Amino acid sequence: MQEVTAKQDTENKRKKGVSVKKADIILGVSVITAAIFLLAARSFFQKDGALVVVEKDGRSYGAFSLMKNQEIWIGTGNRIKIQDQKVWMIFSDCPDHLCEHQGIIQTEGETIVCLPHRVVVQIEEDRETQEEKPDVIVS
């Protein structure tokens, strides 16, 4: 046991030696923090803030960030995919499959409509602030 304590003592002394450069560490940390902050700010301002707004049966179904790659079920009959800031209908069990053939939408105001399922997928500008923006809303 004593041996262990002695070892810890030596280690503590060694740490003290390192702590002389505490100022350097603090400086490094602040530089990194500033860099992270700048990156975060930049990505916030660069974001064109588009949302993929989904309606089903005339009611709001959810709003999803266009920036986040994901697949979303709309009810059980439709499935959309968001990837690389593009959206398309990857699956629909509607009779006409027109929605699947509407292809990719990626700019504000563009829509994909599935008439049989009364589904509307539209890209909208995110006018709200970050905190009000829902990442995912699932009914």
Which residues here bind Zn ion, judged by CB under 5 A?
Answer: 92, 94, 99, 114
- Identify which of residues 62 and 116 has a Cβ nearer to Zn ion in the complex: 116
- Identify which of residues 65 and 82 has a Cβ nearer to Zn ion in the complex: 82
Rounded to a whole number of angstroms, the minimum distance from the CB of residue 113 to Zn ion is 8
Rounded to a whole number of angstroms, the minimum distance from the CB of residue 111 to Zn ion is 13
- Identify which of residues 51 and 117 has a Cβ nearer to Zn ion in the complex: 117
Regarding beta strands 50-56 and 119-125, do their DSSP bridges make them parallel or antiparallel, or are they unpaired? antiparallel
Q: What is the largest CA-CA distance in the chain?
A: 81
Please spell the DSSP secondary structure of 23-75, one letter per residue: HHHHHHHHHHHHHHHHHHHHHHHH---EEEEEEETTEEEEEEETTS-EEEEET
Rounded to a whole number of angstroms, the minimum distance from the CB of residue 76 to Zn ion is 13
